[in-house]
Structure 1
Amino acid sequence: EINATIGMALDDDGEPLILSFLKNYINLSNPSDGFTYAGSFGDINLRKNWAEQIRKKNPSINKEISLPIVTNALTHGLSIFGYLFMNINDVIISPDLYWGNYRLIFQTAYGAKIQTFETFKDNSSFNIEGFEKLISSQTSDKITILLNFPNNPTGYTPTYKEAMKINDIIIKTAEKGKKVIVVCDDAYFGLGFEEGIIKESPFAMLCQAHKNILCVKIDGPTKEDYVWGFRVGFITYGIKNGTKALYGALENKTGGAVRGNISNASNLSQNLLLQAYKNPLYDKEKESKFNILKNRYLEVTSILKENKNYFEAFEPLPFNSGYFMCIRLKNADAEEVRQILLKKYSIGLIALGKDIIRVAFSATPTKVLRKLFDGLYKAALEVSKK
């Protein structure tokens, strides 16, 4: 009858005590849902909905997995993973081309060490041999592997053949008695633009593979549903023979970590997403946005095929998915090229290390992509001739 527990302000009718004009800005079936707490685990209806989406998008998952826990988008999800599973000096295995924020999340915040292997072999395929060699060199009984496909920054997703080899290496490592954690950063999931590359998350392929492999899927609508500012993500667990009790414990630990870190994620964003997933226009609109990105990808591949002279200044790294592609400069410093592009051509790109530049075709209108690459070519030549 009387609930004097929650740290919210309610009016005498039990509704949230909110500024009335703010409610007018929110087009929810119940606008008050945008003002209340969601709970540390997240909105239960959204969690169930996302779990259904995971299974629909990854039909290989035919056994029980955990119910997703809501995070404040993927960066926060990765940080919560680090809080729960990383100890000081723990090693995380990753390709050498990875999202720079991993260093802040895992190394700076939690004291883990990112060890890398060269991402590509002969600039044409995923470096399976390098991946296997680095895993084989690990002396600890605990091995953490970070898989991010489509990859940021390269925009690469493995072929089915490459993915099977990656899986085999991980499974053989587990069979030797190693305790393997595979964390899947699925930020760009679903944005594959070529045939022959994996359409499911590595999580789907490995979450039931071996009792010594714990798979952690970190994903969300940020890129999948084009809601970058909503800041909603999910953490989901999978392991062979995982029981409800085990998954319940992992969910409780994760929900507790979220509570101790941010209390809970935005209820407004969660309710907007729930409403979006029920909208009859959802699938059509999403396909439309996907096609825009795919057409930009195809334009980039066409530009590179038609302008072989570009290859005297740079070569593209393999790409087939996601938001980005990278080029490797042949005789020029990446930061110098970036500065010239910005000052002389009014083109903004990201320099990575000494010789790699990342191009976000996701944010570039199709009609100016040719101008972008022409400017990149000219700037690279200018620096190389200094």
Structure 2
Amino acid sequence: MNPQAAELNSVIQAKSTPVFELLSERGKNIFFPKKGILGQTAEAKGTKINATIGAAIEDDGTPMRLEAVASKINMDPSLVFPYAPSFGRPDIRAKWKSMIYEKNPSLDGVELSLPVVTNALTHGISMAGYMFADAEDEIIVPDLFWGNYNLTLTNAYGCSLGKFNLFKDGGFDLESFEAKLNEGGIGKKIVILNFPNNPSGYTPTVEEQDAIVDIIKKAAEAGNKIVTITDDAYFGLVYEEGIATESIFAPLSQLHENVLAVKVDGATKEDYVWGFRVGFITYGIKGGDAELYSALEAKTAGAIRGNISNAANISQSLLLSAFESEEYAQQKEAKYHIMQKRYDAVKEALTDEKYKECFEAIPYNSGYFMCVQLAEGLVGEEVRQLLIKKYGIGLIALGNVLRVAFSAVAASDVKEMFDGIYHACKDCKK
């Protein structure tokens, strides 16, 4: 083991034995190199002649760049062309942390890590797997989950996905979740909580979220060491009263010394910048302090350094500029109302009783998606293909569940879409 990794492990062990025990073997062995090229480059910062970093500099000391590129970007070249740190730009990390507190008021006074910048949420989930998942580990997910977990976790790290039933009687199946969490005796547990859920578009009610947190607390009190990865890709897009508006990360990050909360989030869906690829990993645990979090940040940045080097500087700079803009909040509110209108159009369309002959909606209340469960005898893939060929409608088939991305459908087109699904189902029944 590299001495720098051992040094970080010593800090983590001294501060929190459960966190150290939750680390994967990769997580224990990773470190951010303070020495070597990076260390020598840092020491040379400010020198008159700096020939350390692998980037080209113009004679005037600014980043070397092609006018064909620079002419398209109305920003200071220093915010665009140089490498960003593997940890992410310090300014956007600080800003995102302040925004986490603004969006989750119950975190007031709770000490969290400084977010580490990832190449959006897929990479964030992957880096969480790098840090905590070994090949023999099972990661607990609902039976309706984002399919990319298979590539980022099972394919990449060899762990398995253990599923619990997401819904019961029109709401979150607390009994199934509790049974799955406590399956197999006391030990290390890894849980992914994705709300609003992809594909269902469901966020727990306030009462359900409280119950989920209580289930995790009881499991921790029994001696389990638990890492909860909150996939907050669609955070903030809640359309009904009584639904939890704060991330479940907020209560989990201050729940118990045996529960490490890992928040994976980003601007991708929240701020409608899918191609920017800027996400964040933030840590929280009861009793956590700056020294513990600094060690976790260093390990995470080391994993990123060894994986993609760093996230794009220009994307981070553009986002920070937007976050600090006076128009940001107003513009984001306007887009939320468009999404709300589309959601309301879905609810209105589904009041048509004839649809129940062919499909019924799975519980939904938030996010980008909703799903319909096809009636018995129908085959999802057959319906999907017919929708494309005959009705000009594209959906995703997940077995006999069809996922509808209403985020991408104008409110005026929603009724036509569901009528198309209905008629395609009738055609397939013939």
Deviation at 1:84, TM superposition (A): 1.0
Give the fraction of aligned pairs with identical amino acids, expressed as a percent: 54
Cα shift readout 1:161-199 (whole Å, capped 9, x = no counterpart):
111110000000000111000000000000000010000
Cα shift readout 1:69-113 (whole Å, capped 9, x = no counterpart):
000000001001111110002011111000000011111110111
Deviation at 1:135, TM superposition (A): 1.2
Given residue 41 of structure 1, which amino acid in structure 2 is its aligned partner? Answer: F
SS at match of 1:99: coil
1:260 maps to what in 2?
306
The whole-number CA distance in structure 2 between the counterparts of 1:278 and 1:258 is 26
User: Which of 228, 231, 254 is matched with 1:182 structurally?
Assistant: 228
Deviation at 1:140, TM superposition (A): 5.3
Given residue 93 of structure 1, which amino acid in structure 2 is its aligned partner? Answer: I
SS at match of 2:105: coil
2:417 maps to what in 1?
372
User: Which of 192, 202, 207 is matched with 2:238 structurally?
Assistant: 192
Deviation at 1:262, TM superposition (A): 0.4
Deviation at 1:48, TM superposition (A): 0.1
2:63 maps to what in 1?
16
SS at match of 2:52: coil
User: 1:222 aligned to 2:268?
Assistant: yes
The whole-number CA distance in structure 1 between the counterparts of 2:364 and 2:184 is 29
1:101 maps to what in 2?
148
The whole-number CA distance in structure 2 between the counterparts of 1:189 and 1:352 is 23
User: 1:209 aligned to 2:255?
Assistant: yes
Cα shift readout 1:218-261 (whole Å, capped 9, x = no counterpart):
00000111100000000000000001110000000001111000
SS at match of 2:386: helix
| C-alpha contact (below 8 Å) 1:23/1:32 kept by paired residues | no
| C-alpha contact (below 8 Å) 2:186/2:222 kept by paired residues | no
User: 1:150 aligned to 2:212?
Assistant: no
Given residue 238 of structure 2, which amino acid in structure 1 is its aligned partner? Answer: G
The whole-number CA distance in structure 1 between the counterparts of 2:66 and 2:184 is 57
2:187 maps to what in 1?
141
Structure 1 segments, 4+ long, off by >3 Å, are none
SS at match of 1:145: strand
**Map 1:223-238 → 2, pairs under 5 A:** 223-238=269-284
SS at match of 1:327: strand
The number of residue pairs the alignment matches comes to 381
> What TM-score results when the alignment is normalised by the length of structure 1?
0.97
Given residue 34 of structure 1, which amino acid in structure 2 is its aligned partner? Answer: V
SS at match of 2:276: coil
**Map 1:1-386 → 2, pairs under 5 A:** 1=47, 2-28=49-75, 30-61=76-107, 62-122=109-169, 124-139=170-185, 141-305=187-351, 307-331=352-376, 332-353=378-399, 355-385=400-430
| C-alpha contact (below 8 Å) 2:63/2:77 kept by paired residues | no
Deviation at 1:216, TM superposition (A): 0.2
SS at match of 1:192: coil
The whole-number CA distance in structure 2 between the counterparts of 1:240 and 1:21 is 51
The whole-number CA distance in structure 2 between the counterparts of 1:271 and 1:44 is 11
Aligned Cα RMSD in Å?
0.9
Structure 1 residue ranges without an equivalent (≥5): none
| C-alpha contact (below 8 Å) 2:88/2:310 kept by paired residues | yes
The whole-number CA distance in structure 1 between the counterparts of 2:412 and 2:354 is 21
| C-alpha contact (below 8 Å) 1:211/1:240 kept by paired residues | yes
> What TM-score results when the alignment is normalised by the length of structure 2?
0.87
Given residue 59 of structure 2, which amino acid in structure 1 is its aligned partner? Answer: D
Given residue 5 of structure 1, which amino acid in structure 2 is its aligned partner? Answer: T
The whole-number CA distance in structure 2 between the counterparts of 1:229 and 1:192 is 23
Given residue 7 of structure 1, which amino acid in structure 2 is its aligned partner? Answer: G
| C-alpha contact (below 8 Å) 2:135/2:159 kept by paired residues | yes
Given residue 391 of structure 2, which amino acid in structure 1 is its aligned partner? Answer: Y
Deviation at 1:315, TM superposition (A): 0.6
Given residue 367 of structure 1, which amino acid in structure 2 is its aligned partner? Answer: S
Deviation at 1:139, TM superposition (A): 2.9
> Residues 140 and 107 of structure 1: is their aligned pair in 2 closer, same or farther, counting only changes over 3 Å?
farther
Given residue 425 of structure 2, which amino acid in structure 1 is its aligned partner? Answer: A
The whole-number CA distance in structure 2 between the counterparts of 1:179 and 1:344 is 52
SS at match of 1:26: coil
